[in-house]
Amino acid sequence: MANVGLQFQASAGDADPQTRPLLLLGQLHHLHRVPWSHVRGKLQPRVTEELWQAALSTLNPNPTDSCPLYLNYATVAALPSRVSRHNSPSAAHFLTRLVRTCLPPGTHRCILMVCERADAFASACALARAFPLFTHRSGASRRMEKKTVTVEFFLVGQDNGPVEVSTLQCLANATEGVRLAARIVDTPCNEMNTDTFLEEIKKVGKDVGITPTIIRDEELKTRGFGGIYGVGKAAVHPPALAILSHTPDGATQTIAWVGKGIVYDTGGLSIKGKTSMPGMKRDCGGAAAILGAFRAAVKQGFKDNLHAVFCLAENSVGPNATRPDDIHLLYSGKTVEINNTDAEGRLVLADGVSYACKDLGADIILDMATLTGAQSIATGKYHAAVLTNSAEWEAACVKAGRKCGDLVHPLVYCPELHFSEFTSAVADMKNSVADRDNSPSSCAGLFIASHIGFDWPGVWVHVDIAAPVHAGERATGFGVALLLALFGRASEDPLLNLVSPLGCEVDAQEEDSERDSKRRRLV
């Protein structure tokens, strides 16, 4: 899949499936609404109208189903007909799986995606997850032939007109962001170290006409970034704080996205075991998602000030490593007694959100991180955990997740009961909880919030993506779609405004969509 180019077109055109294999995909009641005249040119002369109708009649998705139409050159596949209220109406996770298992082989292939307009964004991002970019398989390096997958959307239901060029461009930018984030997360630390990650940031900056600000190594220490410096100072490749700033004319507010970019997490001197350390190349998933989303957001005409803040470090072991019992002074001015060097993500993010508050003057600060193993216990493998000081934004995150396919579920926000877990006799706080049975994912997020203050008047949102950042051994690019959907109201793009839960037109559209979709959801 690494050499596959993904293209979105208003019309993929007609072709014999033997020369261009085809996958037709959608919910069954949507597939039944596709006229034969629309698919005839993509299936003939191999598939007749009678065979097409017969295939549809045999599909019985439970939760999915598929049927070959002509050998392994053409397949029709059905998504679940109904989903629960905590799932995305797009059935995005099933969509990715069906593409991986049902898309016929070939150099030039086509996917006809049948869905409602409201599900097009989530469906496109789910498609992108099926085509990861990173591989080091020796056979892949010998295959120089570039493969392409052309995606055409056939929209049904209300607002079912043709897909506009602007929408296709939005889908292309979003899916490029998803695949970029997944590639960074899939790349091992012997290649994706802090130096390499900075090069990725510079490439995105060059692509959108922005020069990043970079604070690195000993300068971090002298400027007071004790969290980032303390975590990364033992590594061969020094830690860094990098910022990409988009400041358009006419901006009315300032938003900061702060990403945890731990390129590898050994646990430090509180070292991880042989079974828990593999996979820790993924600990930069928050920063990777923010990089992919920032690129797409700027390209889609983001109207407000947007700062992407990357907290980069390798949590390594060495003579200069932070020890348990060490005390660090963080950028907030607060001191932290280290009682667990494996609770390092909150330290780098504390510096990042404090910088966003003090130096960038952000009104809204969102940090995204693969922060706690407990997240998968709290909200599962598919739903990221959200912790925020705003009930409105908590609800918005959940709605945005359902609209874009990056699912989210709330954690308990109660600092007056939980923050005492960090009590220290010799510093302002410890970095790890006293009782690991007391909502550890919530507590980890509260540690970050404490460095801007629980009485800070702005909006703070913390998104823990530890589990959904990967599916099996592959990265998902999780977080890119969520950020674009959540902040879609700050974009001029109509598709992002459609999926944004905070957009001015959303309420009426959402009510219409709910009424139109009752048949396919479990309440």
For the residues 299-326, what does the mean pLDDT come to? 97
pLDDT per residue over 138-157, tens digit each? 876 666 678 999 999 999 99
Based on the number of CB atoms within 10 Å of its own CB, is 26 exposed (0-12), middle (13-18) or buried (19 or more)? buried
Contact (CB, 8 A) for 75 and 51: no
Question: Could you say which of 3.40.50.300, 2.60.40.10, 3.40.630.10, 3.20.20.140 is the CATH number of the domain covering 189-499?
Answer: 3.40.630.10
Q: Which of 100, 202, 272, 303 is catalytic?
A: 272
Distance CA 79, CA 59 (A): 10
pLDDT per residue over 223-248, tens digit each? 999 999 999 999 999 999 999 999 99
Cα separation of the two ends of the chain? 37
For the residues 455-484, what does the mean pLDDT come to? 98
Distance CA 241, CA 421 (A): 28
Contact (CB, 8 A) for 185 and 470: yes
Token code pair at residue 448? 């970050």
Under DSSP, the state recorded for 239 is P
Distance CA 27, CA 32 (A): 9
pLDDT of residue 250: 94
pLDDT of residue 159: 81
Does the pLDDT of residue 71 top 90, yes or no?
Answer: yes
pLDDT of residue 246: 98
Distance CA 426, CA 420 (A): 14
pLDDT of residue 522: 36
Contact (CB, 8 A) for 195 and 237: yes
For the residues 308-336, what does the mean pLDDT come to? 98
b/e map 272-284, b = 16+ CB within 10 Å:
eeeeeeeebbbbb
Contact (CB, 8 A) for 386 and 398: yes
pLDDT per residue over 54-67, tens digit each? 999 999 999 999 99
Q: For the whole model, what pTM was predicted?
A: 0.94
Helix or strand run (H / E) with residue 299: helix 285-299
Q: In the structure, what pLDDT confidence band is assigned to residue 437 with cuts at 50, 70 and 90?
A: very high
pLDDT of residue 1: 56
Where, residue-wise, is CATH 3.40.630.10 in the chain?
189-499
pLDDT of residue 518: 44
pLDDT of residue 503: 54
pLDDT of residue 146: 87
Amino acid at residue number 517: S
Distance CA 388, CA 451 (A): 14
pLDDT of residue 521: 40
Distance CA 461, CA 255 (A): 11
Whether 40 is catalytic is no
Fold of 4-163: Rossmann fold (3.40.50)
pLDDT of residue 493: 83
pLDDT per residue over 195-218, tens digit each? 999 999 999 999 999 999 999 999
- DSSP-derived pairing of the beta strands 384-388 and 408-410: parallel
pLDDT of residue 143: 65
Whether 272 is catalytic is yes
Quote the mean pLDDT of the chain: 94
Under DSSP, the state recorded for 411 is P
Q: Which of 109, 346, 399, 402 is catalytic?
A: 346
Where, residue-wise, is CATH 3.40.50.10590 in the chain?
4-163
For the residues 370-381, what does the mean pLDDT come to? 98
Q: In the structure, what pLDDT confidence band is assigned to residue 489 with cuts at 50, 70 and 90?
A: confident
Token code pair at residue 215? 């604070």
